[in-house]
Structure 1
Amino acid sequence: MGDLETDLLVIGAGPYAYAAAAYAGDRGIATTVVGKPLSFWREQMPADMYLRSGPDWYLDANREHTFEAYFEDRGLDPADHDPIPIGVWLDHADWFAAQKGLEVDQRLVSDVTQPDGRFVAAMEDGSSISAAKVLAAPGVGFFAQLPDWHVRVPEDRRTHTVERVGFDDLAGARVAVIGGRQSAYEWAALLCDHGAEKVDVVHRHPKPAFEKVSWGFVDAYVDQTLAHRGWWRGLAPEQRTGIAQEFWEVGRLTLEHWLVPRLRPDVVTTHAECSVTEVTGEGPVTLTLSDGSELAVDHVVFASGYKPDIDRVPYLAGVREQVAATDGFPDLSEGFETSLPGLYTVGFLATRDFGPFYGFTKGCPSAAKIVVDEMLR
């Protein structure tokens, strides 16, 4: 047994954890949440970035304490916060936690085991928590992806976007941004805002469009996931591919129009349909591109995204052998349960079995409802 006992232990304190813990509390499950509240959003995202989503994306599975309700309660006009600054979103998350009575134990878990039918989480301070069920909600910060050649860039001259949250040290610098999605171009804009001399954005796909788009197409897919257990995995492969392509085109090949005025043409150059073929140098670093051009840069920012891999969640090492996984994804039931009974996971690790939208906050309320209802089946 542990120093503390609970019915449900939620490991993580990000959006998916908040949504699930709040709904579990609403359903009468004694729940303990451990982790640093919204630490990825507070510490690994720039303070002056904006969200791609709008106030229609919320956390409450009961649709009561929504983002729109937050704006109303605070007396704020959403039109004055379009796009939404990350600070407003964080204030909303704190408001949501207060409304739901969520209290987060800010200790961290070092390991989870199951010695006697119950889970035991060993905490970094030497204490432990015993739980009948565990919901792991690791953020994407665990899963930063880098190209193989990144090691040829000196360590002090490279960062992934997950680490690069300040830009003042790159004022006057020549920077290459590797990647072509929203984070790549938003980090390029932030580099412009903070005085970078030159920014080269290098990516393999065509240059994205910068247009106002609607994420409304996702609503029907989330509704289907709620209405039909296992909906995503029950689709024919070509249907899943088609939806993933639609998601890619709207979310990846079309970026936010509000970036354009900040991407100064005298600073930012796009190298579309290019890749890095060679890296040389220690002082400035020279990147040779597939089109034969060369870039002399002072720093390389990798906006190369994230790749799910359960092996990179350190606190699950003690139960990892009992959890079946394929290509880094845990094999999940229709209710987000792993092959180890009583252990569930939501968020990025669930995107193979539930669809790409479950790597975004859009999926939080429906994931919360599905996983908690599964626990109560």
Structure 2
Amino acid sequence: MYDLLVVGAGPYGLSIASHAAGAGLDVRVFGRPMASWRDHMPRGMFLKSEPWASNLSDPRGRYGLSEYCRLGGTEARHGEPVSVETFSSYGLWFAQHAVPDVDERMVASLRACPGGFEATTQDGQTIRGRTVALAVGVIPFVEIPPALLGLGTEYVSHSSHHRDLDRFRGKDVTVIGGGQAALETAALLAEQGTRVRVLARSHQLSWNTVPPAFKRPWREAVRAPHSGLGCGWRNWFYSEVPGGFRRLPEATRARISASALGPAGAWWVRERVESGVEVLLDHEVATASVAAGRVRLEVMGDASGGGPDFETDHVIAATGFKATSARLGLLAPDVRGSLAVNAAGEPYASADFESSYPGLFLAGLVTASSFGPAMRFVQGASFTAGRLVRGVRRSLRRRPVGPSVPAPAGGRDRRTPLDAVKR
């Protein structure tokens, strides 16, 4: 039985595995390394994060993005976006040098067993571990507007479903959303000859500005320090003190998690959008249907209530992710049902990233409601890996395994105050 099973081999899973191995734990990692980045992002996309905020984490800090670029004869420069292809290759290099061998099979299900957990891979093999770290990324949590559900993947998809946009050449595509995923997807579509429009609920698009020089006069740096999530003291707090964020009142954390670092386009994509993409603001889809091989969208407008109804060949929903425990479908129902959650259905995590089910640890987007916006970005991987492995070591020193917050009879609401799951 392994000390730790890591489910997921993206930036968080690989970082956790590296720290676990460095701590002398017997660890097994499952998943295709960097799969979300390699399989779910179109060629030509870039990271919004600065290169120095895009590092995976190893205990000795030897395998950062800048080192990978240096060895390849390039340089990771502040203010110059990193391509998805470069970042994916960096992650593979990190996995090769800083992580125990990765089992590229996917875990199909995870259940409790005597002494820990039992993971079943897609080909039917079972592997046991005393603890588990779920680092499943964002793909299980895709959010598509209700009006678009049920139309079929031929007509509706999520922005994270596309590695290749070539299938839309010469087509008419409508992209829903006003954030970076929507705007960059639309720009790439327009540049390959697709007729594309962006439909956004907001009154106007928000754009990030060109970052100031990394080295600045001290007065400027004090007024608005750099951080992995952008300039300013508020972003610095979210980026550098996620443990402090967790100590905020639950209502405050919920408000910040829902609103901080909202939809915005990167400065380097603005001209590409404004020069080649039709943008419809103050509009959202009311109903959608398929007729004669096309999608008909009925659109609600602003205060007037009306909108330009139209037909399109395909709708891409760049509408984000909703990390609820209900979407952790690989968990056995009794384990998933015992997780303490907040009012939005998002699972709580202890100070060491342990869920309310002892021995089951969480990482990445699913912990943003506990630790803040940094968990939505690669920036959060370093803090997570160190703290989580510390928690795993503590968990290994205690037993038995079992739910500390039992599921209530009759399937009633499982929302539990944060204090109930503090360690």
> Shared fold by TM > 0.5?
yes
Whether 1:51 aligns to 2:47 is yes
Q: Of the candidates 245, 263, 268, which is equivalent to residue 277 of structure 2?
A: 268
**Alpha-carbon distance between aligned partners in 2 of 1:15 and 1:242, rounded to the nearest angstrom:** 26
Q: Distance in 1 between matches of 2:251 and 2:339?
A: 28
Taking only aligned residues, the RMSD between alpha carbons, in angstroms, comes to 2.3
Residue 355 of structure 1 is aligned with which of 368, 372, 378? 372
1:1-377 to 2 correspondence within 5 Å?
5-57=1-53, 58-62=55-59, 63-79=61-77, 82-151=80-149, 153=151, 155-196=153-194, 198-210=195-207, 211-213=209-211, 215-217=230-232, 218-225=235-242, 230-236=243-249, 240=253, 244=257, 247-249=260-262, 252=263, 254-263=264-273, 265=275, 267-283=276-292, 284-291=294-301, 292-318=307-333, 319-326=335-342, 327-377=344-394
How high is the sequence identity, in percent, across the aligned residues?
30
One-letter amino acid of the structure 1 residue matched with residue 244 of structure 2: W
Go from structure 1 to structure 2 and tell me whether the alpha carbon gap of 1:142 and 1:93 turns closer, same or farther (over 3 Å shift): same
Question: What secondary structure, in the 3-state scheme, does the structure 2 residue paired with 1:159 have?
Answer: strand
Deviations 1:146-188 (A, max 9, x none): 1111036464222111223322222222211111110010110
SS of the aligned residue for 1:92 comes to: helix
**Secondary structure of residue in 2 paired with 1:60:** coil
Maintained 8 Å contact 1:311/1:317 = no
- What does the per-residue CA deviation read over 1:316-356, in whole Å, with 9 as the maximum and x for residues that have no partner? 12522333233332222111111111110111111111112
Q: Distance in 2 between matches of 1:109 and 1:220?
A: 35
Mean CA deviation greater in 103-112 or 131-140: 103-112
| Greater Cα offset, 160-169 or 234-243 | 234-243
* Letter of the structure 2 residue corresponding to residue 6 of structure 1: Y
Instruction: After TM superposition, give the deviation of residue 219 of structure 1 in Å.
Output: 3.9
**Aligned partners of 1:260 and 1:143: how far apart in 2?**
27
Is the alpha carbon distance of 1:321 and 1:289 closer, same or farther for their aligned partners in structure 2, counting shifts above 3 Å?
closer
SS at match of 1:201: strand
Is contact 1:10-1:137 (8 Å) kept? yes
Amino acid corresponding to residue 105 of structure 1 in structure 2:
D
- Classify the secondary structure of the residue corresponding to 1:162: helix
Tell me the SS of whatever aligns to 1:25.
helix
CA separation of 1:50 and 1:136: change in aligned 2, threshold 3 A: same
Which SS does the other structure have where 2:139 is aligned?
A: helix
**124 and 168 in structure 1: CA distance in 2 versus 1, 3 angstrom threshold:** closer
The 1:48–1:119 alpha-carbon spacing in structure 2 relative to 1, beyond 3 Å, is same
SS of aligned partner of 2:355: coil
Shift of 1:19: 0.7
The alpha carbon displacement at 1:294 in A equals 2.2
Q: Is the CA contact 2:32–2:104 (under 8 Å) kept in the aligned structure 1?
A: yes
Secondary structure of 2:353's aligned partner = coil
Q: 1:340 to 1:281 in 2, by over 3 A?
A: closer
Which one-letter code corresponds to 2:22 in the other structure? D
User: 2:42 aligns to what SS in structure 1?
Assistant: coil
Q: Do the aligned partners of residues 101 and 347 (structure 1) sit closer, same or farther apart at CA in structure 2, a change above 3 Å counting?
A: closer
Counterparts of 1:246 and 1:219 in 2: how far apart (Å)?
Answer: 16
Could you tell me the TM-score, scaled by structure 2's length?
Answer: 0.80
Distance in 2 (alpha carbons) for counterparts of 1:360 and 1:323 = 24
Instruction: Report the more deviating stretch, 331-340 or 271-280.
Output: 271-280
Q: In structure 2, how many angstroms separate the alpha carbons of the residues matched to 1:54 and 1:339?
A: 34
> Alpha-carbon deviations, 1:189-215, whole Å to 9, x = none?
11112211x212111112223332462
Extract unaligned runs of 5+ from structure 1. none
Shift of 1:81: 9.4
Greater Cα offset, 170-179 or 71-80: 71-80
> What TM-score, normalized to structure 1?
0.89
* 8 Å Cα contact 1:152-1:279 kept in structure 2: no
Alignment partners' CA distance in 1, 2:341 and 2:255: 25
CA shift, 1:28, in A, is: 1.2
State the distance in 2 between where 1:173 and 1:335 align: 48
> What residue ranges of structure 2 are gaps of 5+ in the alignment?
212-225, 302-306, 395-423
Q: Distance in 1 between matches of 2:330 and 2:149?
A: 27
Deviates more, 1:12-21 or 1:89-98: 89-98
AA aligned to 1:317 is A
